[in-house]
Every structure is written in structure tokens, then in C-alpha cells.
Amino acid sequence: AGQEGTFSERSFVMIKPDGVSRQIVGKIISRFEERGYKLVAVKSVTPSKELAKEHYVDLAQRPFYPGLVDYITSGTPVVALVWEGKDVIRQGRRMVGATNPLQSDPGSIRGTYAVSVGRNIIHASDSFESATKEIGLWFNDKEMSSYQPTAWPWIF
């Protein structure tokens, strides 16, 4: 996932089926673009059970895991994204907000759009290790673009 702590750091972000169904994909993408992050990869995917289970494998023992997998594989697509830029992993988590909407900052994405922990709109990688694993799980190298946004010299 790029180099941790550099401008090439990358994070995996997924707009979950509720975000797609509620038609706020553009608003969410805009937040990352406006912050200055570079869109490196984007696709709409209707995840298989296998993909959803592997993505959340660390939560396999949790009681909410089966419901979580059902939610992600509802049949409505998700939008898989890779964003690049300075501190994008930690900053992305802050922009997304706390998992439980009761704790998410009102200015965050979840704090703006979500009221239920089980329907919280969006996922973002929580560490460099997770980002590396998730980008590799959802994308292949050919799907990742390399370019320099014209705004970058003024942002970073």
C-alpha cells in the first residue's frame, strides 16, 4: 500500500451497499478528493460471500460476523476505492468517523449519514498492514493508476 508515512501511502476504502443504495457515492468520493487525496483505483463490485468473508476474516469469531457478511453481500454493489496521499490511512479513519455512530463526530462521514452500527455506510483500512492486505484482496496491479494530480504541488 505505497510507503507508510509518505505521500504514496495508500488506503482501501469501501462504500458499503447502504451508501450505494442511498446514492451518496459522489458525496463520499468528493470528500476525499477535496481533502487532496488521489484516486488510484475505483470499481463497483457485487461481492461474493467468499470475498466478504475474507475481507472481514479478523472478525470471524464475533457474534455480528454472519450478519455483517450478509449485509456486504446483499446483492447491492459496493464501491471499492484506493486513495493515496499523506497520512491517508489515519486521516481516512478520522474522515470516516467512529464505528458506532453514537460516537462518530458529527462532521465525519458516518457522523453525517449513519445512525446504526450495522449500517454505517463506509469502510476504511485501519492500519498499513490492513491496507496492504485489503488492496491486494480487492484489486490487481493493472487496476491501479499512476499519475500526478495537478493540484498536488499545492496540497502536499
Any contact of residue 156 with ligand RTP (CB under 6 A)? no
Residues 63-82 that bind ligand RTP (CB under 6 A): 64, 68
Task: Reply yes or no on whether 123 is catalytic.
Answer: yes
**8 Å CB contact between 124 and 109:** no
Q: Which is nearest to 100 in space by CA: 84, 118, 86, 73?
A: 118
Residues 86-145 that bind ligand RTP (CB under 6 A): 99, 117-118, 120, 123-124, 126
The length of the chain is 156
| Cell numbers standing for residue 13 | 476504502
| Cell numbers standing for residue 94 | 478520522
State the minimum distance, in angstroms, from the CB of residue 150 to ligand RTP: 31
State the minimum distance, in angstroms, from the CB of residue 119 to ligand RTP: 7
Q: Is 43 assigned to a binding site? A: no
In degrees, rounded to 5, the angle at the alpha carbon of residue 143 between the alpha carbons of residues 38 and 88 is 30
**8 Å CB contact between 84 and 40:** yes
Give the active site residue among 38, 53, 55, 123.
123
Which residue ranges make up the site for ligand RTP (CB under 6 A)? 59, 64, 68, 99, 117-118, 120, 123-124, 126
What residues are designated binding site for ATP? 16, 64, 93, 99, 110, 120
Q: Which residues are catalytic?
A: 123
